[in-house]
Amino acid sequence: RSRYLGMRQHPIYTSHMTHSLPNPHIGKTFTVMSEPNSAEQRILDMHNEILAKNYLLNDNSLEWLRSEEEKHVYIPYEIHKIEPEVRHHIEYYLELFHQNSCIRWIKRTCEKDYVVIKAGVNEKGELVDRCYSSSVGRKGGIQYVYLTTRCLGLMPGFVPALYNIPHELMHVLGFIHE
């Protein structure tokens, strides 16, 4: 049931999380703090509910490779054509998974099943407003997670919505909505 994260409540889903994110690409440090009742907290609460109610896909063919001896789940990934600020936040959350769960996002070498994280663009090449995953769980071959500054609220005048990063990564792991 909780083979992916090891337990229902996990530090990755805490209600108060403060972290400083130095960004070498733009020479700034961002401090991000999630407050109770914030939009981010509501999404994190939803993930806790998903874990508690076992909203995992019940299809073993959709599971990622798991090391029995280490009890880790490995997901190969590549990051393609993405804004530097978005890449920075993605790398932070991938590391957060590594530090606080059995999930190991590993850079792809030659794996045939892997995730490509890239900017979502429309037919005109413009960034789209939504973040999304092309599938839930491991589908085989290449699958995509689309993230942009627009859907993450990283543009001037927008409220940051960094919770979309772990939200979409959870879909890749096999977690679904109610």
In the annotated binding site for Zn(2+), the residues are: 167, 171, 177
Instruction: Tell me whether residue 78 is one of the annotated catalytic residues.
Output: no
The tokens describing 172, both together, are: 């890749």
List the catalytic residue out of 68, 111, 126, 168: 168
- For residue 117, give every residue at least 6 positions away whose Cβ sits within 8 Å of its Cβ, in sequence order, or none: 77, 78, 79, 80, 82, 90, 144, 145, 147
Which residues are annotated as part of the binding site?
Answer: 167, 171, 177
What is the C-alpha to C-alpha distance for residues 157 and 50, in angstroms, rounded to an integer? 31
CA-CA-CA-CA torsion sign (96, 105, 27, 158): negative
Catalytic residues: 168
